[in-house]
């Protein structure tokens, strides 16, 4: 299967998981296209001041790959900065949040694996 960017659907979630502002998802694949193996396979973008609130991943894992900007991550209570090419992995009951405190739009690839 090939899906061109122009065929992908975009959606906006406001105050996602108790975060601030809007988070825009460009869904690269939908859950039913992955035979239930991925709940999310999206490019996420956030402007300065926007965030995804702190949440755990109990029975699934989430992988973020930073494409653009600087991500501020709460990684199980430790705040870290991540830049282009950095990978953030959360699973096995761990928790995280994702924030953009920088001027540049933050873009990350997000994959949630069931």
State yes or no: pLDDT of 1 exceeds 90. no
In words, the CATH class of domain 5-113 is: mainly beta
Q: Tokens 């992995």 identify what position? A: 89
Q: pLDDT tens, 18-29?
A: 999 999 999 999
DSSP string, 9-29: EEEEEESGGG-SSEEEEEEEE
97 with 19: CB under 8 angstroms?
yes
Q: Report the distance separating Cα 89 and Cα 87, nearest Å.
A: 7
**Single pTM value for the model:** 0.93
Q: Report the distance separating Cα 47 and Cα 50, nearest Å.
A: 6
């Amino acid at each position: 299967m090939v899906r061109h960017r122009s065929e992908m659907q975009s959606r906006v979630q406001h105050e996602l998981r108790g975060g601030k502002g809007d988070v825009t998802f460009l869904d690269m694949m939908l859950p039913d296209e992955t035979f239930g193996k991925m709940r999310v396979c999206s490019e996420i973008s956030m402007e300065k001041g926007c965030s995804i609130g702190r949440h755990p991943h109990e029975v699934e894992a989430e992988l973020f790959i930073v494409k653009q900007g600087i991500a501020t991550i709460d990684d199980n209570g430790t705040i870290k900065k991540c830049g282009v090419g950095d990978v953030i992995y959360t699973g096995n009951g761990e928790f995280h949040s994702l924030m953009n405190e920088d001027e540049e739009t933050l873009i990350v690839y997000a994959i949630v694996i069931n």
